[in-house]
Amino acid sequence: MTDEDIYTGDGSVTLDNERAVKSKTGNWRACPFILGNECCERLAYYGMSTNLVNYLEDRLNQGNVRASTNVSNWSGTCYATPLLGAFIADAYLGRYWTIACFSIIYFFGMTLLTLSACVKGLEPRCDDDGCHPTSTQTTVTFVALYLIALGTGGIKPCVSSFGADQFDETDVKERKRKSSFFNWFYLSINVGALFASSILVWIQMNVGWGWGFGVPAVAMAIAVAFFFSGSPLYRIQKPSGSPLVRLCQVVVASFRKYNVKVPRDESLLYETSDSESQIVGSRKLEHTDKFRFLDKAAVETESDRRKSTSNPWKLCTVTQVEELKSIIRVLPIWASGIIFAAVYSQMSTMFVLQGNTMDQHIGPNFKIPSASLSIFDTISVIFWTPVYERIIIPIARKRTHHERGFTTLQRMGIGLVISLFAMMAAATLEVVRLDYVRKQNLYDEETIPMSIFWQVPQYFLIGCAEVFTFIGQLEFFYDQAPDAMRSLCSALSLTTIALGNYLSTVLVTVVAKVTTKDGKAGWIANNLNEGHLDYFYGLLAVLSLVNLLVYVGIAKWYTYKKVSVYPS
């Protein structure tokens, strides 16, 4: 039996820095610990964030616009900090230790948030006139929230990539299993979210915020325990040095040689032998014709040949140049996800506020919190993920002859189409709701006798769109990333959610200011019965349509990366 049969071919090692044995590490045997960690961490995150807008309104005495923008800004930060965590993982610590360290920060943040909601002196004083938070109490709450945001920065970009690292890309069978991993990974997220958006939201609204935040804190502790339990089985990719430095070297070298002519024969461009590769564990990337100006960095001049060692700020390898090209190629695809993320962010803000105005009763005695309706988004994901894996993909394979059924770009495009219908459904419901308010003259009523379950279609459509777009993004950015920059590219995909939340904040703020004139209620009024939330949803639908048309053009232009073998 050869080493190829015994050891992985992708350069992965164990935690003890020994070569990973195929039969003893990684594959599906290591995945339950990663999936269990993700399920509990997402339970903690959604258990705290799903109903956060109501907590800010109820306990911190914030209005609709302020609470909504604070939640959007915080959510955006949760998806921006992964850039920091990804850089640390790819350059210095590796994905395993980055997840481990940032999980501890995350747990401290959850604990502080729990204390701020139940410890005397930290929790706001409440009476019949409402709650009266002090500036110190508000500060403690936001310190806790942004500690959590920092903690997510090391987990979000690394867990999905770390899970995919458990499958050896040089092994055909394992490579096929990796595609399934992303589906089950996203399913585990939503299993945690299912519990969070149902039972935990009910606890927060009916038992108390102390218990409502305490349970997610315990879930985070369990997530940490899950992760460390699987340590002996993990396959670990070594950090490869700063990716940003390598990218900057290509840019600098290209401009230094701006007057050098690129040879037509690509074999004349500079590339080291496998044994001399400076990018640890990275496969070589084949040359592509786009962005040929950057190829100047790989042109070996007479001056370069005279020197015994090359200066990376003057001469770069083809693989290094192609790393930068790969990043540039994915940026338009990345940008097209921002509008989708803005649509997705409405579930934790406008959908909740819309639901607050509707009849939340199930029978005479039980009342469902409006934030709990996100459970139908979760149910939709849990329903569509196995349907996609077991039914849609086999059918698509027969028609497209593609091993995944759809390319990742096709999969994301389908999700963008579905998200457009989700916004149209939300706008239609709001038109009907406002028409009912107008006919019955219910402008001053806190809730109207219209069942909150009319919101189910918009939640269900968002969930269906997630299965196509978000899972497609996970797989796309992992596959198209250079081997040594996978955490960074995973973080890049997450920043679309950050920017989507920030875009939602900008839209809400601008729309509120522009449409509120002469004392008249704007589209997003504190009393939604006097507003026009349907116009806001319509605006998002129009933006989604424009984004879809642009995306189709970008997807046709895109070319997938081509890789060589792993270095020996």
pLDDT digits (tens, 9 = 90+) for 395-450: 888 887 776 678 889 999 999 999 999 999 999 999 999 998 888 888 888 888 88
152 and 160 in contact (C-beta within 8 Å)?
no
Clarify whether residues 59 and 86 are in a common domain: yes
Q: Answer whether residue 275 shows pLDDT above 80.
A: no
Which of 374, 332, 330 shows the shortest CA–CA distance to 349? Answer: 374
Clarify whether residues 305 and 357 are in a common domain: no
Q: 280 versus 170: which is more confidently predicted?
A: 170
214: Cβ–Cβ under 8 A, 6 or more apart, which residues? Answer: 114, 118
191 and 382 in contact (C-beta within 8 Å)?
yes
For residue 70, the one-letter residue type is: N
Which of 34, 311, 3 shows the shortest CA–CA distance to 187? Answer: 34
Percent of the chain predicted with pLDDT > 70: 96
Q: Answer whether residue 361 shows pLDDT above 90.
A: no
Give per-residue pLDDT as tens, 63-93.
777 888 888 788 878 888 888 898 898 888 8
Clarify whether residues 176 and 292 are in a common domain: no
Q: What is the pLDDT of residue 459?
A: 93
Number of domains, the chain: 2
Backbone angles phi, psi at 5, to 5 degrees: -80, -30
Clarify whether residues 50 and 170 are in a common domain: yes
Is position 427 within any domain?
Answer: yes
Is position 171 within any domain?
Answer: yes
Q: Tell me which residue range forms the domain holding 53.
A: 3-239+322-557
Clarify whether residues 313 and 334 are in a common domain: no
Clarify whether residues 217 and 280 are in a common domain: no
Is position 568 within any domain?
Answer: no
Q: Answer whether residue 1 shows pLDDT above 70.
A: no
Q: Answer whether residue 568 shows pLDDT above 60.
A: no
Which of 109, 196, 96 shows the shortest CA–CA distance to 155? Answer: 96
Is position 566 within any domain?
Answer: no
Asked which of 278, 296, 321 is the last residue of a domain, the reply is 321
Q: Average pLDDT of the chain?
A: 86
Q: Answer whether residue 106 shows pLDDT above 90.
A: yes
Is position 406 within any domain?
Answer: yes
Clarify whether residues 276 and 416 are in a common domain: no
Asked which of 321, 339, 355 is the last residue of a domain, the reply is 321
211 and 382 in contact (C-beta within 8 Å)?
no
Give per-residue pLDDT as tens, 293-349.
889 988 988 887 777 677 888 888 888 888 899 889 989 999 999 999 999 988 878
Q: What is the pLDDT of residue 157?
A: 85
Euclidean distance between CA atoms 211 and 118, whole angstroms: 8
Give per-residue pLDDT as tens, 490-539.
888 878 887 888 888 889 888 888 888 776 778 888 788 888 889 999 99
Give per-residue pLDDT as tens, 118-167.
888 888 888 877 778 888 988 999 999 999 999 999 998 889 889 888 88
Q: What is the pLDDT of residue 308?
A: 64
Clarify whether residues 410 and 452 are in a common domain: yes
Euclidean distance between CA atoms 366 and 368, whole angstroms: 7
* 464: its two tokens: 């269906």
Is position 565 within any domain?
Answer: no
Question: Could you tell me the pLDDT band of residue 278, with boundaries at 50, 70 and 90?
Answer: low
111: Cβ–Cβ under 8 A, 6 or more apart, which residues? Answer: 217
- Classify 297 in phi/psi space as left (phi over 0), alpha (psi -120 to 50) or beta: alpha
Q: What is the pLDDT of residue 310?
A: 75
Q: Answer whether residue 567 shows pLDDT above 50.
A: no
DSSP state at residue 541 = H
Asked which of 298, 321, 344 is the last residue of a domain, the reply is 321
Give per-residue pLDDT as tens, 203-219.
888 888 889 999 999 99
Is position 564 within any domain?
Answer: no
Q: What is the pLDDT of residue 149?
A: 93
From first CA to last CA, the distance across the chain in angstroms is 18
Clarify whether residues 415 and 435 are in a common domain: yes
Least confident of 49-58, 218-227, 464-473: 49-58
Clarify whether residues 92 and 207 are in a common domain: yes
216 and 44 in contact (C-beta within 8 Å)?
yes
- pTM of the full predicted structure? 0.76
Clarify whether residues 478 and 411 are in a common domain: yes
Euclidean distance between CA atoms 39 and 49, whole angstroms: 15
At 156, which CATH number?
1.20.1250.20
Clarify whether residues 417 and 553 are in a common domain: yes
Is position 457 within any domain?
Answer: yes
Torsion sign (Cα): 409, 411, 412, 416: positive
Question: Could you tell me the pLDDT band of residue 12, with boundaries at 50, 70 and 90?
Answer: confident
Q: What is the pLDDT of residue 193?
A: 81
